[in-house]
Amino acid sequence: MSSATSAPSGAITDVAGIEVGHWTDTRRPTGCTVVLAREGAVAGVDVRGAAPGTRETDLLEPSNLVECVHAVVLAGGSAWGLDAASGAMRWLEQQGIGLAVGPGRIPIVPAAVLFDLYLGDTAVRPDAAAGHAACVAASRQAPAEGNVGAGAGAIVGKIFGIEQAMKGGIGSASVRVNGVTVGALVACNALGDVVDPATGRVIAGSRRPDGTGLLDTRRALLAGQPPRRLVPAANTTIGVIATDAVLSKAQASRLATVGHDGLARTINPAHTMLDGDTLFALGTGASGIAAEMMLLATMAAEAVALATLRAVQAARGVTLGALHLPAACDL
């Protein structure tokens, strides 16, 4: 009789062949996070939000040529943050890692960004040097969570105004069943609330106007309370799912798709016109066990949901000028 358990560190790095590194700039704050697969990983992606910021996602279509990627970069800084992927490419090239093409090797590094420009000087954002530094910092250790890397400037619950919002962050989790591990890393910068699916309780999100407690965005919207005029694309939850199961490219794509079920369980509303929600999926194949997609799909959604919860549970409140954003731990 099999059972699902959290792997030893409960993080995406429990998946053999996966490393994670953060780069954080506390001046704003902002940052980027790299998920390394030095030996290459079969990859897929699913972009659900209507306002995405991405790089190299078309090549992950199952019908396209490239089978494996060598890293995925998640970054703050909105579209500017995509530059961090160039730094990750440079680091991988220095290690001799990449797709053999003619006389050289080209590292394949898809990326996705979130909007964290509400906090501080918008000229401070991840660049190529930041992506390189995140690679240098990468390890098999369980990654730090909360206000680090791509989660450094993340905010949740902005539907009724930034002054009623709360601090988001980055979190990780893993699930192991029958010798196969699935892990997830999620940077949560959602427009909506983050909800514990086990209880239905709102953990972080829009607060009441007096700041004393949580509003519950779903109930407020259904009661007819109008959202504030919002900045387009100023949100987005991005993340990576990884497994040591043996996947085809089509199966990796499907795993990214079903991973969004985990976002829908924990974020309300999710996948809005003002979010760019994007999930990548990586298969290292290190377990040697062929994918059983029904089980992997269940595990992926579970890992994403757990990682999203961890992102806000590990976050800490920030104050910049007149703007104070408490975290779930403060309430």
Assess whether pLDDT exceeds 90 at residue 5. Answer: no
**Tens digit of pLDDT for each residue in 267-285?**
999 988 888 899 999 999 9
Q: Which residue has the tokens 């595990």?
A: 299
What percent of the chain lies above the pLDDT cut of 90?
81
Q: State both tokens at 277.
A: 């929600």
Q: H helices of the chain, where?
A: 84-94, 128-136, 217-222, 249-266, 293-313
* Backbone torsions φ then ψ of 185, nearest 5 degrees: -130, 120
Q: State both tokens at 257.
A: 């798709």
Average pLDDT over residues 252-271: 95
Which DSSP string corresponds to 118-155? TSS-TT----HHHHHHHHHT-BSSPPP-BSSGGGTT-E
Query: pLDDT value at position 231?
Result: 62
Q: Whole-model pTM?
A: 0.95
Q: Which fold has domain 12-330?
A: L-amino peptidase D-ALA esterase/amidase (3.60.70)
Assess whether pLDDT exceeds 70 at residue 87. Answer: yes
Assess whether pLDDT exceeds 50 at residue 4. Answer: no
Q: Exposure of 21 by Cβ count < 10 A (0-12 exposed, 13-18 middle, 19+ buried)?
A: buried
Q: Where exactly are the structural domains of the chain?
A: 12-330
Long-range contacts of 95-98 (CB under 8 A, 24+ apart): 95/38, 97/38, 97/70, 98/70
Q: How confident is the model at residue 1 (pLDDT cuts 50, 70, 90)?
A: very low
CA 27 to CA 29: how far, in whole Å? 5
